[in-house]
Structure 1
Amino acid sequence: MLFLLILFCWGPAVVTSSQVWPLYSTPRKTVTLSSYGGHVFQEKGVWNYSTMLLREDMGVLILGARGTIFALDLNNITHKKAMVKWEVIPSMRTSCSFKGRDFETECLNYIRILHKMSDGRMYVCGTNAFDPTCDYMSYTDGNLILENNQYDGRGKCPFDPFQRSASELVDGQLYSATTVNFMGTKPVIMRSFNSTIQTEVSASWLWDPTFVGMKHVAEGEENPEGDDDKIYLFFSEVSMEYDSYKTLAVSRVARVCKGDLGGQLTLVRKWTSFQKARLDCSLPETKLPVLIQDVFLFCPGNWSTCVFYGVFTPQTVLSQYSTVCAYRIQDIREVFSKGKFKTMVNIDNNLKWITYYGDVPDPRPGACINNDARQKGFFKSLDLPDKTLLFIRDRPLMDQAVEPPSKQPLLVKKGAAFTSIVVASTTALDGSIHQVMFIGTASGSVLKAVNYDGETVIIEEVQLFARSEPVKILRLSSTVGQLYAGSDVAAVQMPLSACDYYTSCMDCVLARDPYCGWDLISNSCVAVNSILPDSHSEVVQSLRDGNASHCPAVESTKTITFFYPGNTVSLLCEPGSNLAQVQWHVNGHPVENSNVYQIQHNTLLILNASESDAGHYNCTSVETIKGVDYVTQTVTYELRLGNFMQSIFLALTVLVIILTLILLALVIWNFYKGYLSFSKCLNNNKESLSGSTANIAS
């Protein structure tokens, strides 16, 4: 590995020592799903809740799992509206097992594709015991109905339920990126249904790829150059451009044109517009390229404003950092439409990829049919000349990498690997618009983060699943303001914000959550979108600066604590947030670690306490934002010397109470077992009384 690092330094540098990493890589708050107002859905015996389709037009979340599809209420996914089973027939499962696949895990039907059709039906595909199959499904009158007209899913859905794939349904055509054979060794990017077209079978096109996401950008609607819509694909694959004795993977973005029909003689029924480029995203402690895990397309306006948000993880266990990078569509377009190509040459009997400096044919290889091409007599890809098609067939890789703006990531964080991302947009109190990132992790949590003028703040980390259950999918509904997540064991939903979680002005404002502000009239943290326009002056929100100076001072809580000489006294103090620092004072003087005082995990320990240790102990939680200190919490302890005789009396009292309870429990137990009964007691009393009377008479 060390040799690989040294060797890679001779190639294009991914990390430079001058880069400055975002400071706020620690979530300000760590929150449970229940305290955030979330919901959990799971069905007994069903696993792998990892495919989702939002049907906001029907008010349901279509959830694909292993052998089952659910329709859940968008507002509360614990309300199951419908479900349908789609399981593997026994003979197919047995056949799958005979071919070497695991009968209990792999030879089942994992739902991997869910898309909405133009007629309201849904297109659904499953792995079906390594025989991928597709069908149409409808949700009518509260029922999920599969048509049971099953279609071959090869090239659309993966064979292997644990192999990643991507797909998109555009204008009645299914675009998919997966493998087309049982062994999963033949990758393909395909357009199905009316006109099938796919990638060339060549390592220079795809080399052991891991497909991550596919996105459609409707560029053709408003492009002044008369360009076509694009389908963008994000994946990682084995590198072909670096010299290395070890396998090195890189992240890629590729694109094809929606109107591509293939070539007439060359690239027949193959993409004539397939191009790919390296995606760069810097990461500390390594110069190895990071690998993309998920992508989200965010378009605040028309196509030219679109931004792709990607989460990346390292390809070596030596690094524990994950990162988020954003890419403008104009920068990607620039690389494909104006960048140089790479070409393969033979140097000393070794094939190497180098920058191509020769002539580039006209029309430009890989370009869609636009106004310029039409003026030259090329109205569809079938009209393109062979020199253009031969060029792009042999040189689909661009020389220049796509980089984020300023060549900097939005967020770098050490810890659990990032797995998924979605991005929401919201308007703050001052009218500014902010993009809020929700990032799934391998430890089952979601990070909520916002970038303010280059400074990324992680507002909260919400624990959705057990720490051993990674977040496998995230979906966002802006209509109902909810986030949906899936894992192997369950699906959950949570609101995009939970302002009422913050109970003080200081805590609410320092959260810097664009969804929330502190109402000085009601003394509560409220949702900004629920505030009336003329009442802004009564609400405090400071996102870029985190200025909480308008908040009233935090009230101190006081506790009287008794201690006895020779004991160790423990005084608890919880910081106001993960970013806060705890400060201890005794009788107005700072506390420092010594033979008497020890501060462990913010708790003050007074060792071998004596009479001189009585006094006032004050704990303050201080959070620093933009160089300004804010006291977010204050706790005061009045430590008093306890009375020894009082303590003995209290201990004896407690002992008597305990003994009484034990005796009472024994009596009840004897009655329960029948050893004692009221009738026996009465008879015994009568016999005793009769005996006594007889004795008196005699």
Structure 2
Amino acid sequence: MHPLLSLSVFGLLLPTALMHVVDSPLDCIPRRSVPSNSNNALLFWEEGVFNYSAMLLREDLDLLVVGAREAVFALDLRNISKKITSVEWKASPKQVGDCRRKGKDAETECKNYIRILHEMMDGKMYVCGTNAFDPACKKMSYVDGNLTLMEPEDDGKGKCPFDPFQRHASIMIKNDLYSATSMNFLGSEPVLMLSPHVNPQSGPIRTEIKSSWLYDPNFVSMASMPDSEKGNNDDKVYLFFSETAVEFDYYSKLGVSRVARVCKGDEGGRRTLQKKWTSFLKASLDCPVPGSQLPYIIQDSYRWCDPSLHWKECVFYATFTSQSHTSEISAVCAYHMSDISKQFSEGKYKTPAPVETSYIKWVTFSGEVPQPRPGACINREATNSEIKTTLDLPDKTLQFIRDKPLMDQAIEPIGGRPLLTHKGAAFTQIIVKQVQALDGEKYKVMFIGTDQGKLLKALHNEEMFIIEEVQLFTPPQKIKNLKFSNKMGQIYVGSDISVVQIPPANCERSSTCFDCVLSRDPYCGWDKVERKCVSISSSQSVLIQDMKGNASHCPDAGPVVEPLTRNIRPGRILKLRCPSPSNLAKLIWKRNGIPLPHSPEDGLLILDNSDDNNNNNNSGSYSCLSVEKSKAGEYETVVVNYEVGISLENTAVTQAQCSGQSHSGLIVAVVVLVVCLVLLLTWRVVKRHINLPCDRTKEKGEEPQQTRDLESSDASEPLAAEKPNNHTNTGDGPCISTVNGIEPPCFPVASLKRVYFEIKFFIF
């Protein structure tokens, strides 16, 4: 690679990555961490069914429709643990066989994974599945409490992915399906395609198969924008995705985040770009995380619009993760719809330019832009120029857009920096809701899913504040889908193993006024009469709430904490626990009202080394306090109180009991040892491993064959060839010698050694 081109990459990337470092948001820490056993969630799953990743809210039917592997479920929207009905959709044996012969795994890949669920205008649903790498689609009805898959079956190529683990995106607008997926078995032909329903004979409209259009993309999401003026047909569909950058020359593939746009009224060109998009444009999305030298990669997006405002005031929120394996930081960036629209309608284009006849470098196009503007929808201006449809566009405009679909400038986020950065589990999904607090102001609350099965709840005010993180799945599972029902006020979360329903707030987790107010949750407030944290939507009382964390209006720190009694024995260690109500709080320990230096966070250890005659011990009153700061001040709350005493009588009794038990245990051990020794010796005698008093006759009969041979070969030799000493041999080694002519019982030394070691082994 040319060194100048390599330097140009860093020249483009580094300024973007290092901008706004000084005033960038710090890593946000969730104020509260909620384990899975305390999340108050409702759960649905069925044995042998996996991949609950497609979800459709049918609020008109009070249903949550869930697409999984080989099945579609209709769940009660109020309580998803109640299954209303379900229908199976399995791949045929022939399709499974073909899939296996093509090298795919029969147990994981050659199944029918439901990936697309959309509502149609007549109330029916459109369902697509991978179908053992042979994608297919069907209509589905819900009548009299039953789901029914209808025939005929549609070809799903270009609508649904072949690979169940490949990312895709789709949206249905007036029964027209816009889909972004792969067209072939290998996944090497990515497309953004319109499958018309009203006029199917016109055929689909799709992208050109060129790397300058789509280059190894990962599709994320799609959104429709009704941004046309009255009487015009220039509504648009936006596609968010990531792909390999064509504009950077790099040592390896470099990923970039994109947003693309097509016009709903696009019919393709007449001669150039026949049945292809004439309005396809794409631009880079920048989410400059401080300290990162590589672009961050988009994972999900959510369109938020205020119905009372113009469509240009809509905002897209998107989650991003690092493409560097050394970074664990995720981010959320927001983009004004007006900035995105302006880039496509007024921005400059990039164009490929050869360098030294060997390289293609993308540079800013500085030539004349043809009219009508390439990529523009057929608006009022085009209509006045006798261009009624895209079929009337001149070839010059179409050739330009075919070669140069990439915009020159990246779209910057609101404020030029991420709204939120967080180190830890990678962000996956996001939804954003607007909540009106008690002060009359409206606040944005983000619900962010992670790849570790956690749901983060963050407040977007003057600064980002993560209210809590809730563990939804155990073991941790990647969150693949998030839905919010405005009718039920509930959040629905899909993963590979199950579906979870959880309310957007659980105010009862805050036990004190300080804890309730410092959580800065617009859903919750402190009821002074009931003395508990409650949902503001379900209470008629006057509540205390402050989005800046001003808890000065709280009447006190909360209910009186009754002390817990603990006793410590002399010479022992006692640990006092103190569960922190907040990850942002600092714990302080006090003894008899006096702060203890170096207060530990994980519990206070008390070592008592006093004796009965020493009154200077560690007994007394201990208090653990939580100290938490906000912009409005510092607040102190008593978490737990302890009364610690010295247990002398119990200790003496215990020591006496232990002493008596020790002597008794020693006696028992000695008796058991003696019995074991006797039994072992008896066993050895029975097995004849130890002989009885020496039987000379038997021993002679058991002499080695070599000795008997010598005697027979030299019978005339006197018996003076006896052993030079009076030892007796049994074959196990030398015996104990005679004493004063008296021969003792024969206990071979080797056998005695063996017994000794066996007894020693048995004991120890």
TM-score surpassing 0.5? yes
Matches within 5 A, 1:313-328: 313-328=321-336
What CA distance in whole angstroms lies between the structure 2 residues aligned with 1:586 and 1:320?
41
Matches within 5 A, 1:168-317: 168-193=171-196, 194=200, 195=202, 196-220=204-228, 223=229, 226=232, 228-301=234-307, 302-317=310-325
SS of residue matched to 2:626: strand
Tell whether 2:394 aligns with 1:406: no
Matches within 5 A, 1:20-169: 20-23=23-26, 25-33=28-36, 35-169=38-172
What CA distance in whole angstroms lies between the structure 2 residues aligned with 1:44 and 1:647?
58
1:83 counterpart letter in structure 2: S
> Does the 8 Å CA contact 1:70/1:83 hold for their aligned counterparts?
yes
Return closer, same or farther for 1:466/1:650 CA change in 2, 3 Å cut-off: same
What CA distance in whole angstroms lies between the structure 2 residues aligned with 1:82 and 1:548?
52
* TM value normalised by structure 2: 0.81
What CA distance in whole angstroms lies between the structure 2 residues aligned with 1:345 and 1:590?
71
SS of residue matched to 1:15: helix
2:605 counterpart letter in structure 1: L
Measured on the aligned residues, the alpha-carbon RMSD in Å equals 2.1
> Does the 8 Å CA contact 1:542/1:548 hold for their aligned counterparts?
no
- What is the aligned partner in structure 2 of residue 667 from structure 1? none
Give the number of the structure whose alpha-carbon radius of gyration is greater.
2
Cα distance, 1:559 vs structure 2: 2.4
What CA distance in whole angstroms lies between the structure 1 residues aligned with 2:502 and 2:593?
44
- What is the aligned partner in structure 2 of residue 527 from structure 1? 535
- What is the aligned partner in structure 2 of residue 541 from structure 1? 545
> Does the 8 Å CA contact 1:8/1:287 hold for their aligned counterparts?
no
> Does the 8 Å CA contact 2:331/2:421 hold for their aligned counterparts?
yes
What CA distance in whole angstroms lies between the structure 2 residues aligned with 1:368 and 1:125?
30
Tell whether 2:347 aligns with 1:336: no
Of 269-278 and 191-200, more deviation after overlay is shown by 191-200
2:255 counterpart letter in structure 1: A
1:500 counterpart letter in structure 2: E
Cα distance, 1:31 vs structure 2: 1.6
Return closer, same or farther for 1:181/1:546 CA change in 2, 3 Å cut-off: farther
Tell whether 2:388 aligns with 1:384: no
Matches within 5 A, 1:559-570: 559-570=564-575
What CA distance in whole angstroms lies between the structure 2 residues aligned with 1:602 and 1:651?
35
Tell whether 2:646 aligns with 1:641: yes
What CA distance in whole angstroms lies between the structure 2 residues aligned with 1:531 and 1:104?
52
> Does the 8 Å CA contact 2:227/2:234 hold for their aligned counterparts?
yes
> Does the 8 Å CA contact 1:568/1:607 hold for their aligned counterparts?
yes
Of 297-306 and 488-497, more deviation after overlay is shown by 297-306
Return closer, same or farther for 1:260/1:87 CA change in 2, 3 Å cut-off: same
Cα distance, 1:8 vs structure 2: 4.1
SS of residue matched to 1:337: helix
Of 372-381 and 600-609, more deviation after overlay is shown by 600-609
- What is the aligned partner in structure 2 of residue 14 from structure 1? 16
What CA distance in whole angstroms lies between the structure 2 residues aligned with 1:318 and 1:476?
34
What CA distance in whole angstroms lies between the structure 2 residues aligned with 1:647 and 1:416?
53
> Does the 8 Å CA contact 1:298/1:308 hold for their aligned counterparts?
yes
> Does the 8 Å CA contact 1:49/1:487 hold for their aligned counterparts?
yes
What CA distance in whole angstroms lies between the structure 1 residues aligned with 2:489 and 2:499?
17
1:273 counterpart letter in structure 2: S
Picking from 470, 492, 507, the partner of 1:499 is 507
Cα distance, 1:340 vs structure 2: 0.6
What CA distance in whole angstroms lies between the structure 2 residues aligned with 1:214 and 1:645?
71
1:587 counterpart letter in structure 2: N
Return closer, same or farther for 1:608/1:168 CA change in 2, 3 Å cut-off: same
Tell whether 2:357 aligns with 1:356: no
SS of residue matched to 2:12: coil
SS of residue matched to 1:14: helix
SS of residue matched to 1:285: coil
Cα distance, 1:652 vs structure 2: 6.2
Return closer, same or farther for 1:225/1:320 CA change in 2, 3 Å cut-off: farther
1:602 counterpart letter in structure 2: D
Return closer, same or farther for 1:463/1:205 CA change in 2, 3 Å cut-off: same
> Does the 8 Å CA contact 2:429/2:479 hold for their aligned counterparts?
yes
What CA distance in whole angstroms lies between the structure 1 residues aligned with 2:490 and 2:241?
28
Return closer, same or farther for 1:65/1:371 CA change in 2, 3 Å cut-off: same
- What is the aligned partner in structure 2 of residue 685 from structure 1? none
SS of residue matched to 1:633: strand
Deviations 1:593-625 (A, max 9, x none): 5xxxxx554311123543432233222111111
SS of residue matched to 2:318: strand
> Does the 8 Å CA contact 2:234/2:263 hold for their aligned counterparts?
yes
- What is the aligned partner in structure 2 of residue 346 from structure 1? 354
SS of residue matched to 2:458: strand
Calculate percent identity across the aligned residue pairs. Answer: 48
- What is the aligned partner in structure 1 of residue 576 from structure 2? 571
What CA distance in whole angstroms lies between the structure 1 residues aligned with 2:552 and 2:424?
30
> Does the 8 Å CA contact 2:548/2:631 hold for their aligned counterparts?
no
What CA distance in whole angstroms lies between the structure 2 residues aligned with 1:617 and 1:411?
39
Tell whether 2:591 aligns with 1:586: yes
> Does the 8 Å CA contact 1:219/1:227 hold for their aligned counterparts?
no
Matches within 5 A, 1:418-429: 418-429=427-438
What CA distance in whole angstroms lies between the structure 2 residues aligned with 1:466 and 1:166?
28
- What is the aligned partner in structure 1 of residue 739 from structure 2? none
What CA distance in whole angstroms lies between the structure 2 residues aligned with 1:235 and 1:180?
17
What CA distance in whole angstroms lies between the structure 1 residues aligned with 2:82 and 2:444?
30
Return closer, same or farther for 1:24/1:224 CA change in 2, 3 Å cut-off: farther
* TM value normalised by structure 1: 0.88
Cα distance, 1:467 vs structure 2: 4.4
Deviations 1:507-565 (A, max 9, x none): 11111111111111222222212344xx5xx2111013443443422334322322222
> Does the 8 Å CA contact 1:546/1:625 hold for their aligned counterparts?
yes
Of 313-322 and 226-235, more deviation after overlay is shown by 226-235
1:26 counterpart letter in structure 2: I
Deviations 1:461-487 (A, max 9, x none): 111102431111111111100111111
Deviations 1:115-142 (A, max 9, x none): 0000000000000000000000001100
Cα distance, 1:347 vs structure 2: 1.2
What CA distance in whole angstroms lies between the structure 2 residues aligned with 1:90 and 1:626?
65
Tell whether 2:381 aligns with 1:372: yes
Picking from 619, 622, 631, the partner of 1:617 is 622
Cα distance, 1:376 vs structure 2: 1.7
Return closer, same or farther for 1:180/1:647 CA change in 2, 3 Å cut-off: farther
Return closer, same or farther for 1:626/1:372 CA change in 2, 3 Å cut-off: same
SS of residue matched to 2:243: strand
1:604 counterpart letter in structure 2: L
> Does the 8 Å CA contact 2:490/2:504 hold for their aligned counterparts?
yes
Cα distance, 1:498 vs structure 2: 1.4
- What is the aligned partner in structure 2 of residue 508 from structure 1? 516
Return closer, same or farther for 1:22/1:572 CA change in 2, 3 Å cut-off: same
> Does the 8 Å CA contact 2:435/2:443 hold for their aligned counterparts?
yes
Return closer, same or farther for 1:115/1:459 CA change in 2, 3 Å cut-off: same
- What is the aligned partner in structure 1 of residue 604 from structure 2? 604
What CA distance in whole angstroms lies between the structure 2 residues aligned with 1:6 and 1:178?
34
SS of residue matched to 2:341: helix
Tell whether 2:482 aligns with 1:474: yes
What CA distance in whole angstroms lies between the structure 1 residues aligned with 2:650 and 2:97?
79
Deviations 1:556-607 (A, max 9, x none): 43223222221112111111211111012233433235xxxxx554311123
What CA distance in whole angstroms lies between the structure 2 residues aligned with 1:21 and 1:564?
53
- What is the aligned partner in structure 2 of residue 557 from structure 1? 562
> Does the 8 Å CA contact 1:198/1:271 hold for their aligned counterparts?
yes
What CA distance in whole angstroms lies between the structure 1 residues aligned with 2:552 and 2:142?
50
